[in-house]
Amino acid sequence: MKERILRGIPVNGGFGYGKVAIYRPELPTIEKRTITNEEVAKEFERLEKAISSSKEDLEKIYQKVRTEIGKDIAEFIQIQIAFLTDPLIIEEVKNFISKEKVNAEYAYSEVIKKYHAFFLSKETPVFVDKGAEIFDVCLYVIEKLQNSDKIFSILKPNEKCVLLARSLTPMNMAILDKNYILGIALEMGGKTSHVAIMAKAKDIPTVVGIENLLNYGTNAQEAIIDGNRGILIFNPSEKRIKFYEKEKEELAKRRKLLTIKKEAKTKDGKEIDISANIEFLCEAVTAKEYGAKGIGLFRTEYLFLSKRNLPSEEEQFTIYKEVAEIMKPYFVIIRTFDLGGDKLIPGYQENNPFLGWRGIRFCLANLDFFKTQLKAILRASAYGSIKIMLPMVSTVEEVVATKKILNELKEEFRAKNIPFDENIDLGIMVETPSSVFLANVLAKICNFFSIGSNDLTQYTLACDRGNEKVAYLFNHYHPSVLRLIKETIEKAHKNGIWAGLCGEMASEIFGIIILIGMGIDELSMAPQFIPQAKEFISLLDTDFCKEVAEKVLNFSTAQEVIRYLKKRLKKEGIALERYSYV
């Protein structure tokens, strides 16, 4: 069969090759059976038994995920257990059985269909995910009622395969065994979806957002998934298979060797702090294994989005404390909730979320919400080196207001003899042009800057990177963006604070050269890119990087910058293809 290449969104790196397995969850044929008054009680009993058995299974899955990955990710399963055992839904199903005089499986499916349709009609990622989770629970209960395991068996294969599906739920992901599921390809999903989060935690190569995936995959026999480049290849040629086998082997060797390298130093001895971007506890362990010198960005939004409501102070404290203890003696930068934008706030919609109620704006408008998180962070700071970072800062007043709240909480802690780090650092993400122009002022009231190159690019070039019609404009090598980055670093140093960068640019070879040349102090990236970034830095000389950085600032377009960098790397004898996805 002819080779076919499909492209999507890469959410977890690595390569996988195996037979194609397609997961198409559909309600089985459910016979509508009329029952007598005397049989109603028996159907109630069957329903309760199926729900009880499903709950036992899900609780085992919950415990497995909690033990192997972390209790933060296990919360996704807890949400499904809560829906499964919701007394109002169970009562509604029983009323349907009693009133319509029908069998339990038919009644259950009819009631759940209504909830499923409601959530899908909302057409927002949060509600669509919720609808999928509800449907998942429904299938599980139906299979119990029918004494079947047909639907979920594809998720537990006995041979190695690449799994294709329209979407997967947290429960589906929890079932998967990475020894048999060598890759995941989905039609739906994004970088912040449940699947993306759990794929990272399980370290399964994953690509999402592939259009017409199941149509193309129906007749495919084998597939290669490239989670670094966001590619899925059906019916790969022998040449293609050999290429990926070699690349997988070389990558494994390099990662094994490079995890031993503790420092990231240029040829002339300049040390760069390499830290990791994480969302989950298990990623902190991976980051340390790969040699991270800290956590440069701990995204906390999932704590809210996974539960659909505010996690308690105790829940947050436990997670922050564990990450701090895992990363000792290195620092952990906790970004306060960056809700809004592409991380939709449940129950709230606006016409332009990227320019609306997001990040620090949302937090300062919801003080109880904000204070709960700050209290948890302060408590955790007694157990390790923790720093606080504010997202989406665009005015000086936002930082001043936060410092006032923080000082009030510190006074409260002192009065109650609650231990915390008296000298905890407060920094900001520099991701708006206004924060760059105000950097001289902001640097006097902050302890550090972390440049969010993704949003800074988006706001500087006035383009939504998620909008395919203007996505071509999004390029962090545009000279206007590079000039803002250089200005931020210079103003930070002028005022005696350090500057890092935690966007995608931090792990890219062109970005590393330019940023070192501009004097960056820290680069924060996905854990899997750390060994390769360290290797690449060891090939560089700071004078070379400074020369390149000065040169690119004089260009007019991103294309000129990239062409120049390619030529210079070739001239220096550095093989570009070796770092093609770094």
Contact 537, 287 (CB under 8 A): no
502 is catalytic: yes
At residue 38, the pLDDT reads 92
| C-alpha–C-alpha distance, residues 367 and 565, integer Å | 47
Tell me the pLDDT tens digit for each residue of 522-581. 999 988 888 889 989 999 999 999 999 999 999 999 999 999 999 998 888 877 666 654
Mean of pLDDT values over 207-212? 92
Active site residue 545: no
How far apart (Å, rounded) are the C-alpha atoms in residues 431 and 206? Answer: 28
Q: Residue 581 has what pLDDT? A: 43
pTM for this one? 0.76
* Geometric angle at alpha carbon 566, from 565 and 570, rounded to 5°: 115
> What pLDDT does 78 receive?
84
Mean pLDDT throughout 232-261? 80
- If you average pLDDT over every residue of the chain, what do you get? 88
494 in Cβ contact with 440 (< 8 Å): yes
Report the C-alpha gap between 88 and 93 in whole angstroms. Answer: 9
Residues 50 and 106 in one domain: yes
345 and 463 belong to one structural domain: yes
Number of structural domains the chain divides into:
3
CB 522 within 8 A of CB 498: yes
**Is 335 labelled as part of a ligand binding site?**
yes
141 and 185 belong to one structural domain: no
Both 456 and 506 in one domain: the answer is: yes
> How many beta carbons lie within 10 A of that of residue 257, not counting itself?
11
CATH number, domain containing residue 82: 1.10.274.10
Mean local confidence (pLDDT), 20-42: 88
Q: Which of 363, 446, 502, 545 does the annotation list as catalytic?
A: 502
- The mean pLDDT value for 277-286 works out to 85
Does 541 appear as a known binding residue? no
Per-residue confidence (pLDDT) for residue 582, from 0 to 100: 36
Q: What is the number of other CB atoms lying within 10 angstroms of the CB of residue 158?
A: 7
Tell me whether residue 580 is in a domain. no
Give the end of a domain, one of 200, 218, 243: 243
Contact 108, 47 (CB under 8 A): yes
Residue 314 labeled ligand binder: no
Cα 381 to Cα 425: distance, rounded to the nearest angstrom:
10
Confidence of residue 83 (pLDDT cuts 50, 70, 90): confident
| Residues 317, 350 share a domain | yes
Q: Domain check: are 159 and 291 in the same one?
A: no
Query: Do 234 and 116 reside in the same domain of the chain?
Result: no
C-alpha span between 468 and 544 (Å, rounded)? 36
Q: Is residue 448 part of a domain?
A: yes
The CA dihedral of 115, 116, 119, 123, to the nearest 10 degrees, is: -150
Over residues 257-283, the mean pLDDT reads: 83
Neighbours of 229 (CB within 10 A): 13
Task: Give the C-alpha separation, 66 to 72, whole Å.
Answer: 8
The answer to whether 203 and 14 are in contact (CB under 8 A) is yes
Report yes or no on 565 lying in a domain: no
- Reported as a single tens digit per residue, the pLDDT across 45-71 is 999 999 999 999 999 888 888 776 777
- Which residue range is the domain that position 211 belongs to? 4-22+155-243
Reported confidence tier of residue 349, pLDDT bands at 50, 70, 90: low
Looking from the CA of 559 toward its CB, the CA atoms found within 13 Å total 2
pLDDT band at 344 (very low <50, low <70, confident <90, very high): low
| CATH number for the domain harbouring residue 213 | 3.50.30.10
Alpha-carbon distance 266 to 495, whole Å?
25
Residue 350 — pLDDT band, cuts 50, 70, 90? low
> Closest Cα to residue 320, out of 295, 353, 357, 345?
295
Amino acid at 289: E
pLDDT tens-digit readout, 445-492: 999 999 999 899 999 998 876 666 777 788 999 999 999 999 999 999
Q: Which of 116, 161, 194, 363 is catalytic?
A: 194
Known binding residue 431? Answer is yes
411 within a domain of the structure (yes/no): yes
| Same structural domain, 326 and 410 | yes
Is 215 assigned a ligand-binding role in the annotation?
no
In a shared domain, residues 99 and 234: no
- Is residue 224 domain-shared with residue 296, that is, in the same domain? no
